Amino acid sequence: MKENVPSTVVFILLLFLNISLLNGQSPPGKPEIFKCRSPEKETFTCWWKPGADGGLPTNYTLTYHKEGETFTHECPDYKTGGPNSCYFNKKHTSIWTIYIITVNATNQMGSSSSDPRYVDVTYIVEPDPPVNLTLELKKPEDQKPYLWIKWLPPTLVDVRSGWLTLQYEIRLQPEKTAEWETHFAGQQTQFKILSLYPGQKYLVQVRCKPDHGFWSEWSPESSIQIPNDFSMKDTTMWIFVAILSAVVCLIMIWAVALKGYSMVACILPPVPGPKIKGFDTHLLEEAPHAVGCLLP
């Protein structure tokens, strides 16, 4: 009787397995960690995609350990980052440290694990978009008018201490066109746009990027209407050119009037006299008189 007990247990297990398979139940599919992001190099979040649940309630846990450590930790916060995520606050975040992260899925039929994800917080920084984007038309006296664009760094980023350095990029387009015009602004938080079409409504956005990391999303659009009388001609330059041309003309006229004879002499020099030795040039002066005497 005792010899039949193991066989009976195996039979029951196989029967349960077959029933489960017939009901479409199976171990969970392999989850995938698809993104890890830090908005300011002080905290970070990782997100995963669940695999198939096998037709059963499935539980997911994220575990990690730091490179060089053997002790494994579980995710400190499953809520802040939203569904299927793990959030690491400042207490659990270290820079220049590699995290080895894995997501585990478990149900009644078994378990599966994602491929490990290697994360260095320094290189996954993707800041939030800049804020407070403002647009203003400037028409300084005797200068070319322009569009003045200003913004502020993302709220969470500490740029004053130099902990994170950001670079900015601006794009704008007339509302009725599909192509954006892009300008790199460097580290400044203001920018001038000189070449605009009067009568057009422009849409403007700005984004930012750290030294190591990725571009943020574009900020929400701001718009501005360019008046029809928004002249883009640089009148100061043309006035300067006109005055300079007038001065040059006056100098040339004065020079011609003062040294007219000298200039004519330079342009039409006198015919040189004969260079024959022993020839008396006075004979040429007397020659017409002599010829006149000989004629009847």
Q: What is the rounded average pLDDT of the residues 275-281? A: 53
Q: How many helices (H) does the chain have, and how many strands (E)?
A: 4, 15
CATH superfamily of 19-123: Immunoglobulins (2.60.40.10)
Strand partners, 24: none
77: confidence class by pLDDT, cuts 50, 70, 90: very high
Length, in residues, of the chain: 296
Percent of the chain whose predicted confidence (pLDDT) is above 90: 57
Tokens describing residue 23:
């009901």
pLDDT at 145 over 60: yes
What are the φ/ψ torsions at residue 154 (nearest 5 degrees)? -55, 145
Helix (H) or strand (E) holding 205: strand 201-210
Asked if 109 and 20 count as a contact pair (C-beta separation under 8 A), the reply is: yes
Distance, CA of 272 to CA of 291 (rounded, Å): 24
Domain residue limits, the chain = 19-123, 131-226
Average pLDDT of span 45-68: 95
Q: What is the pLDDT of residue 24?
A: 64
**Type and span of the H or E element at 248:** helix 235-258
From the CB of residue 158, how many other CB atoms can be counted at a distance below 10 Å?
12
Q: Identify the pLDDT of residue 150.
A: 97
For residue 13, name the pLDDT band (cuts at 50, 70, 90): very low
Tokens of 293: 């005497």
- Torsions phi, psi of 122, nearest 5? -60, -30
Provide mean pLDDT across the span 47-64: 94
Report whether pLDDT(271) > 90.
no
Select the more confidently predicted residue: 101 or 265.
Answer: 101
Is the pLDDT score of 288 beyond 70?
no
Task: Assess whether pLDDT exceeds 70 at residue 235.
Answer: no
pLDDT at 15: 46
pLDDT for res 273: 54
pLDDT top residue among 119 and 25: 119
Calpha distance 99→119 (Å, rounded): 5
- Predicted confidence band of residue 113 (pLDDT cuts 50, 70, 90): very high
Q: Which residues of 101-139 are buried (b: 16+ CB within 10 A; e: fewer)?
A: bbbbbbbebeebebeebebbbeebbbbbbbeebebeeee
Taking 90 as the threshold, does the pLDDT of residue 7 lie above it? Answer: no
Query: Tell me, what's the pLDDT at 296?
Result: 47
Closest CA to 119 of 95, 100, 92, 91: 100
Same fold, 19-123 and 131-226: yes
Sheet holding 131-138, edge to edge: 131-138, 146-152, 190-193
1 pLDDT band, cuts 50/70/90, is very low
Q: What is the average pLDDT value for the chain, to the nearest integer?
A: 82
Q: Which CATH fold topology does 131-226 show?
A: Immunoglobulin-like (2.60.40)
pLDDT at position 22 = 45
- pLDDT band for 88, please (50, 70, 90 cuts): very high
* Tens digit of each residue's pLDDT (9 = 90 or more) over 158-179: 888 888 999 999 999 998 888 9
| pLDDT of 256 | 66
pLDDT of residue 259: 64
Residue 130's closest CA among 77, 78, 96, 169?
Answer: 169
Assign 290 a pLDDT band (cuts: 50, 70, 90).
Answer: very low
